[in-house]
Structure 1
Amino acid sequence: MDTRAAELASKLAEEHALALFEYGYLAARLGDAELRDELASLARAVREPIYGHGVFIRGLIEFSSFCTNDCLYCGLRASNAACERYRLEPEQILACTEQGYSLGFRTFVLQSGEDPQYSDERLCAIVSAIKGAHPDCAVTLSVGERTRESYRLLREAGVDRYLLRHETADPAHYARLHPASMSWDRRMRCLYDLRDLGYAVGCGFMVGSPYQTPAALARDLAFIQEFRPEMCGIGPFVPHHATPFADRPSGTLEQTLGLLSIIRLIHPFVLLPATTALATIDPCGRELGMEAGANVAMPNLSPAGVRTRYALYDGKACTGDEAAECRRDLDRSLESFGYRVVIDRGDPRGVTRGQA
């Protein structure tokens, strides 16, 4: 193992911060298996006094595949005429949460493309209904960029957390992943609006996206260090056949695991999912993510008939199994690696903002 990289890993574990050039040095060396193993060992040592071997579960409900954006990497992009679009009615969303609650889920993540059919009024009504039925649950939204006033109304309706991947902390890189109509400055403004309004905020990025460099990754890690999100979602880039990046290679399992460990060391209390994309590129991706420092899993509670239609990328790891069977499989697979599902809201330790 590179001696300097080992020194930086130890420094990060002790101080939870590095300089930009130091993050770049580590990011460029994640192909080294010994370094990744050391980072993972340090990440587990940091996580376990806080969260033990518990894994928080979030019930994911993908309620609309319509999107007005045209991101170059996403299968839901507006110009993909072959995408099978769907919308769930409020009653269907609520039925998913009822089933999830009976299976032990105490956080629900409502995710969609940027779909104008879901107005503030409509979303607020859905959130209010969920919170009214289950006041002991947390509701997370992941519905993209909205106005500050929209975020304020949704917060008042009871939304606890909001996931909005920053995608990249490098504006030039952002411009190569998105059409000119999308703005890195606007994305950042949304994240800071959410923070100001009292949400528990999640950001994140793709690993191995086109044009990504170690320098760009260093900026991502420095941003996470500065912003200190309550949640951070990262996963490998996986191409979709109907996008301009169809022929680009996927991000790697190894680099993703190394970055999960680094993020845990930056922010010991962070809620860190092992994402579906990780399970897409490796059958044991979720469990390996836990070994690298993750502590959240997000099983899909969407109706089985629509899961394959929320096609962000090709080969998405999803199953037609009923939610109860998915939950049993999750328990078994995590237990085989020494982890256990925790039945509660899964708030981050040491955080009071909105009781994330």
Structure 2
Amino acid sequence: MFNLKELLKKTDFTNEEIIFLLGLKDPEQCKLLQEEAYRRTTALMGNKVYYRGLIECSNICTSNCRYCGIRKDNHQVRRYEMTKQEIIDQAVWAARNGYASICLQAGERRDEKFISFIEECLREIHKQTVSDVLPDGVGVTLSLGEQTKEVYERWAVASGNRSNLRYLARFETSNADLFSMLHSAKGKYEKILDHRLECLKYLKECGYQVGTGVMIGIPGQTLKDLCMDIRMFQQVDADMIGMGPYLMSEEADLESLGQMENKALFQLSLNMIAVTRLVMGNINIAAATALQVLHPEGREIAIEYGCNVIMPNLSPTKFREGYQLYDHKPGLNDDPFHFGLHLEERIQSRGREVGWNESGSSRKWLMKQEKQEQLPC
């Protein structure tokens, strides 16, 4: 048995120590973990939480990930694709309302029409969001799945703002058997874990701030698996992490496997956030919207456990019902302006401030950039 108070003083952890921390259930012990994660976040990342305005561009998907509500073979969902002008309008609104960064997310496609469409959107977003407040334009996070290195580079060039450019590509689980179970549907784009990791390598080579993450509570997943996920975060040298609980979707292909009980799943998710903060240090960690399904203040509590990024949904409300990756997704009717202000009040109630008009790049990535600039030519 470990001495928890002494363990929480460490910055380098063994696998056994990580597994112990992930498995904490006693409220007093969980509180100690939460307090140290919060303190460590303040010391390493400051006191601010950064917004990434989420724009869900399209729910058209060529993949059949078995857990996902917008998988290709779900014929119940009404498919949509935002126009270029609709996407640009939301990005410009974000830039004018204090969001220094947006996130473009969509179902997975690799056709040239889609690739060029995103490229055009990025160019125009950059052009229309350059201002005295944002001299390099609004920052961009892309979450558009597995692509070739050439495509990643095209999008990076089109963004016009490599200093505030991110990509989120979660590997979902480092356990190859679990990964195969999640993505075992047959199809042209059947997923392979090694390929997902290769994409993370390409993104780093193209200069993106590399984000990845996992699902927590996958049926059959163990604490050891989650520990190995954290080790994979270290291995890929992630700059940011976006992860959340495994939630069922009635229109997916894994409903029969069920879902962990909500209270236990919520605490496990919080533990995973906190331990990731303790192990990974000065990276960005996003508070997943999915946590709101498990607790009405899920994202705010996640801030107390070490998160410093939130992604308010800026998608037009008419599209939101069609972009439900899991059941009971919250915020389908939230107005972006009033929701953003209300969210700020809730963030302030947790002792944090919103970093309005600030890119909020991970300090780990910034430090790496400084070292590169100091290298002799």
Length-normalised TM-score, structure 2: 0.88
Do residues 316 (structure 1) and 312 (structure 2) align? no
CA distance in 2, matches of 1:351, 1:122: 29
Do residues 183 (structure 1) and 179 (structure 2) align? no
- Offset at residue 326 of structure 1 (A): 1.1
Q: Which residue of 2 aligns with 1:216?
A: 225
Contact 1:24/1:214, CA 8 A, preserved across alignment: yes
Aligned residues: 349
Larger mean CA deviation between 196-205 and 246-255 belongs to: 246-255
Which letter maps to 2:312?
Answer: P
Which letter maps to 1:173?
Answer: L
- Offset at residue 136 of structure 1 (A): 3.3
Q: Percent identity?
A: 30
Contact 2:216/2:246, CA 8 A, preserved across alignment: yes
CA distance in 2, matches of 1:329, 1:299: 11
Contact 2:126/2:138, CA 8 A, preserved across alignment: yes
Q: Which residue of 1 aligns with 2:139?
A: 138
Q: Which residue of 1 aligns with 2:294?
A: 281
Unaligned runs of 5+ in 1: none
CA distance in 2, matches of 1:150, 1:237: 30
Correspondences of 1:156-171 after superposition (within 5 Å): 156-158=157-159, 160-171=165-176
Counterpart of 1:62 in 2: which secondary structure? strand
Correspondences of 1:194-273 after superposition (within 5 Å): 194-247=203-256, 248-250=258-260, 252-273=265-286
Do residues 52 (structure 1) and 53 (structure 2) align? no
- Offset at residue 227 of structure 1 (A): 2.3
CA distance in 2, matches of 1:309, 1:65: 7
CA distance in 2, matches of 1:132, 1:8: 52
Contact 2:127/2:137, CA 8 A, preserved across alignment: no
- Offset at residue 224 of structure 1 (A): 1.4
Counterpart of 1:24 in 2: which secondary structure? helix
Counterpart of 1:351 in 2: which secondary structure? helix
Unaligned runs of 5+ in 2: 130-135, 371-377
Superposed CA offset, 1:38-76 (max 9, x none): 221111121112333311111000001011111111001
Instruction: Indicate the RMSD between aligned Cα atoms, in angstroms.
Output: 1.9
Q: Which residue of 1 aligns with 2:56?
A: 62
Superposed CA offset, 1:300-332 (max 9, x none): 000011112101000001231321111111112
Q: Which residue of 1 aligns with 2:2?
A: 4
CA distance in 2, matches of 1:266, 1:147: 30
